[in-house]
Amino acid sequence: GNSVTQMEGPVTLSEEAFLTINCTYTATGYPSLFWYVQYPGEGLQLLLKATKADDKGSNKGFEATYRKETTSFHLEKGSVQVSDSAVYFCALNAGNMLTFGGGTRLMVKP
Amino acid sequence: GAVVSQHPSRVICKSGTSVKIECRSLDFQATTMFWYRQFPKQSLMLMATSNEGSKATYEQGVEKDKFLINHASLTLSTLTVTSAHPEDSSFYICSARPGTSGGNEQFFGPGTRLTVL
């Protein structure tokens, strides 16, 4: 079956540090890949997505590249802010069903 | 566009009572809606998938008689937690997917926090 594996958190960074959150997946076929962000007490917001191999999704300074050869979709940001503190979920969509990773909590300190 | 609302955002109820949570797509028609449950510091667990006008499809291990789902229109799905108990306390999140013209992306509601005393 389909699965998504993310690095466990929490990830604690200082403001302006570089962020990488690893995500790898297992799926049959050609899934679409997503990163969602969840702020405390809220639902999920779509951060970025990529629908085919070598696509790069980007939004709000975050980016991730769909790597079919390594089945990965790592999330990166060059300079994090305190306001980026949240939980980040990697997900894949195959057969119209979303499969989520376990989530990675990011804490950014001033 | 593509806004999904949930009501209520928080609910506290006594053990044994039933609670209804509404999920609405505000600016699009959702042929399919999903209900997820999220425990503290954990990922989302899909509970069921509902298609407008038909019975919901429940994931393995989810009691359909306890978690009643109704998708009566293209903009509204409801989840009723019947005879709620403290172990049902959780964060419930719905998502909605537009019709075929909108692709397969899901749009999420803000969630409903249920506390059963």
pLDDT per residue as tens digits for the range B59-109: 999 999 999 999 888 999 999 999 999 999 999 999 998 875 555 788 999
* Interface size between A and B, measured as CB pairs under 8 A: 44
Q: What is the pLDDT of residues B44-70, one digit of tens each?
A: 899 999 988 888 999 999 999 999 999
- C-beta of residue A89 within 8 angstroms of C-beta of residue A38: yes
Q: What is the pLDDT of residues A11-26, one digit of tens each?
A: 999 999 999 999 999 9
Q: State which H helix or E strand residue A36 sits in.
A: strand A32-38
Token pair listed for B98: 């537009």
> How far apart, in whole angstroms, are the C-alpha atoms of residue A48 and residue A59?
6
Q: Does A96 touch chain B (CB under 8 A)?
A: yes
Q: What is the pLDDT of residues A51-109, one digit of tens each?
A: 999 999 999 999 999 999 999 999 999 999 999 999 999 999 987 788 999 999 999 99
- Hey, which residues does A62 pair with through a beta bridge? A59, A77
Please judge whether B110 and A43 are an interchain contact, meaning their C-beta atoms are less than 8 angstroms apart: yes
Q: List the one residue out of A25, A34, A13 whose CA is nearest residue A84.
A: A13
Q: Of A21, A44, A48, A93, which to mutate for an interface test with B (greatest number of B Cβ within 10 Å)? A: A44
Chain B residues whose CB is inside 8 A of the A105 CB are 41
Q: Of B33, B37, B43, which to mutate for an interface test with A (greatest number of A Cβ within 10 Å)? A: B43
> How far apart, in whole angstroms, are the C-alpha atoms of residue A18 and residue A27?
29
Which residue from A43, A89, A98 is facing B109, i.e. has the nearest CB? A43
Report the pLDDT value the prediction gives residue B101, as an integer from 0 to 100.
Answer: 54
